[in-house]
Amino acid sequence: MNRARLRELGFDLGVRAEAGVSDEGAWFATAPDGAPVVLKWFPDETVADRYAVLIPGLDELRSRGVPVPEYPHVLVVEGWTLSAQQVLPGASVRNPSPVMVEQVVECVAAMAGVACPLPAPDLHPWGASVVHTLTVDVDGWAMHEPLRTGDRRSAAVLDRVEAVGADADPAWFPTDGVVHLDLHTDNLLAGDDGTLTGIIDWEGACAGDPRFDLVRFAYDLDGHDQPVWDVVEATGIEPRVLRAYVAHHALRCTSWQITTTPTTCRASSTAPSASSIGTRPRRQGPPAPTSRAPRRRGRDQAGPDPPGERGAARGLDGGVED
């Protein structure tokens, strides 16, 4: 895959979107019809099938007022899937305004009742996937081994995560909507007035409980002096479900931090305390990604997610041949 091949397909490749802390990325481009898009490559042609199933659900979300980008081009090219995501206005912000937080909560509520036949990353039904992730792990996405072998503190966190999973019942977790699965602040765009203009990067979405996304969003905002956990609890989420979702995010974020920046993680002890897992997090800042320095991505709408968070999206094997 190279620029010449993309030109044959009608795409004029621009600059690479910020790569953040991982090797994954995306590229700004001009589509065959002249529209600005963000291109992503996935080294698996079956990803195109995921998009085909997902896009009707995204259309439904858009009709409900959720600012979801369109995906006007999804192509299978030489064993890869090429997706073109509509460029939406705005930029990601580390600490959204209270108005934007309220808008995100409304969007998550709108995700309930939207059909999405796609399974969770481990291919289990939603409730079974939650329990399986907490008790076994999902390789490359929510891994136990980095915590087990990291240090005594991370091992204690894993013990608590697994205990929460052992006490959980898959029947507790409803499948009543679409789940973005990675609703952190990098995937939310704000306009100059601080209001929500976009929720991007939906390729990892699946069927499940949309409240999982709200907990993920709250987990990312923890430490920014926002009453976001009060907002979560006001939804009426059952304490046992909230406990499991907090443990799930603690596992994912801590394992990612250990595997991507192990020296920094050991030095700063970014893993949450074992006693806090399964409870409303204390306002001291969660592990990655919010432990990273604040940044504004400008119009980079396809900044990457932590490796393994949503599969093998990467930009042309890390580069573009001329």
Pick 267 or 28 by higher pLDDT: 28
Summarised one tens digit per residue, pLDDT across range 139-148 is 888 999 999 9
pLDDT cut 70: percent of the chain above it: 78
The position carrying tokens 């907990």 is 215
Helix (H) / strand (E) containing 198: strand 196-199
Its domain, for residue 165, covers 3-318
Considering its fold, how many domains does the chain have in total?
1
Which tokens go with 319? 């580069």
Q: Which of 60-69, 74-83, 175-184, 267-276 has the lowest mean pLDDT?
A: 267-276
**Residue 286 confidence (pLDDT):** 30
Q: Name the 3-class secondary structure at 272.
A: coil
Summarised one tens digit per residue, pLDDT across range 174-196 is 999 999 999 999 999 999 999 99
274-313 burial, b if ≥16 CB within 10 A, otherwise e? bebbbebbeeeebbbbbbeeeeebeebbbbbbbbbbbbeb
The CATH number of whichever domain residue 179 belongs to comes to 3.90.1200.10
Summarised one tens digit per residue, pLDDT across range 250-305 is 999 999 889 887 655 544 444 455 555 655 544 333 333 332 333 333 334 433 33
**Residue 276 confidence (pLDDT):** 56
